[in-house]
Amino acid sequence: MLDVRRLRLLCDLAQLGTIAAVAKSHTYTPSAVSQQLSVLEREAGVPLLERTGRRVTLTPAGVVLVRHAESVLAALEGASSALATARSGLSGPLRIGAFPTAVRTLLPTALVALGRDHPALDLMVTELDPVAVPEALRERRLDVALVHDYDVMPVEADPALDAVPLLDETVFLAVPASDPEPGDDPIGSVRAAAWIVGSPGTACRAVALQVCRTAGFTPRVRHHADDFAAVLALVAAGQGVSIVPQLAAAQPPAGVRLIPLAIRRRTRITYRQGAAIHPAVAACVTAIRAATDAYLEPPQ
């Protein structure tokens, strides 16, 4: 019988790429992970890993087992969710992750609704960049999370996770109001400007650099900021230009001009495969959708 915990380590190795990364994500030592994977090979009766020096890759049998293991882990998640539906009332921890703009604009209303309708839920929010979400969900540090990508730089779906669409936003070029009108090529018109981008490793930084590369130049980065309120304040102060999604641009400060671009940011609610029927996850998805609709509703 194959051990589920060892199957999870194998799936994580397929996703993360190195035994060191798997060990770090589980707070194990690399030698402990290697030992567990060796035991899994003996259980499977076939080689699952190929070792070349310090590198470890999956054998064809390992790839097949990972594919089936993902289904097994999703089925176990579904079983846990089904058992949760049998309990009366919602209780226990519900760990929610989201990027900073969503934490500021969408989650407060959702949290109020969840606390009102399900007071026994222990709601915990973690602010993090979308690139960190898949690992956090796989490690069960989160139950539900908001992630986004941009149509100019789509993110490949994680096979261990499911997601439902939430929001499709316009993306703006934010420039100082004193700057001249950009014309038909907004990005190209600011190729000589200083840029304000996200911190290294963040999704927003990667997208800003990609947009500039597509326009034929490498941006001259002057400032790094991950909070869009800070980004817009820097733009208003004449410190550079930036790319800002609609959710963050509802109330720009004086001194900022927003120019719509032919770029969309797409936000999704994501969770582990099999968790969609978990009553707490379903309640969270419903609350986030209602909060998003309310936020986007035009004022009367």
On whether both 180 and 245 belong to a single domain, the answer is yes
Distance of alpha carbon 287 from alpha carbon 227, whole angstroms = 24
Q: Which domain holds residue 105?
A: 88-159+267-296
Residue finishing a domain among 61, 84, 107: 84
Q: Which domain CATH number covers 248?
A: 3.40.190.10
**Model pLDDT for residues 162-207, shown as the tens digit of each residue:** 999 999 999 999 999 988 887 789 999 999 999 999 999 898 999 9
Q: Partners of 58 in the beta sheet?
A: 49
Distance of alpha carbon 275 from alpha carbon 94, whole angstroms = 12
On whether both 181 and 254 belong to a single domain, the answer is yes
Query: For helices 279-296 and 107-117, what crossing angle results, to 10°?
Result: 130
Are 160 and 74 a contacting pair, CB within 8 Å?
A: yes
Distance of alpha carbon 13 from alpha carbon 10, whole angstroms = 5
pLDDT (0 to 100) of residue 297: 80
On whether both 130 and 204 belong to a single domain, the answer is no
**Model pLDDT for residues 189-198, shown as the tens digit of each residue:** 999 999 999 9
pLDDT (0 to 100) of residue 264: 95
**Model pLDDT for residues 126-151, shown as the tens digit of each residue:** 999 998 999 899 888 999 999 999 99
pLDDT (0 to 100) of residue 138: 86
pLDDT band at 299 (very low <50, low <70, confident <90, very high): low
41: which 2 tokens? 């090979």
Q: Which domain CATH number covers 54?
A: 1.10.10.10
88: which 2 tokens? 């009366």
On whether both 253 and 283 belong to a single domain, the answer is no
On whether both 152 and 273 belong to a single domain, the answer is yes
Number of domains observed in the structure of the chain: 3
| Cα angle 138-139-144, degrees, rounded to a multiple of 5 | 60
pLDDT (0 to 100) of residue 59: 86
Using CB atoms within 10 A of its CB, is residue 7 exposed (0-12), middle (13-18) or buried (19+)?
Answer: buried
On whether both 17 and 80 belong to a single domain, the answer is yes
Distance of alpha carbon 167 from alpha carbon 107, whole angstroms = 14
On whether both 145 and 273 belong to a single domain, the answer is yes
Q: How many CB atoms lie within 10 A of CB 85?
A: 12
- DSSP per position, 55-70: EEEE-HHHHHHHHHHH
Residue 123 to residues 60, 96, 232, 275, Cα–Cα distance (Å): 42, 8, 31, 17
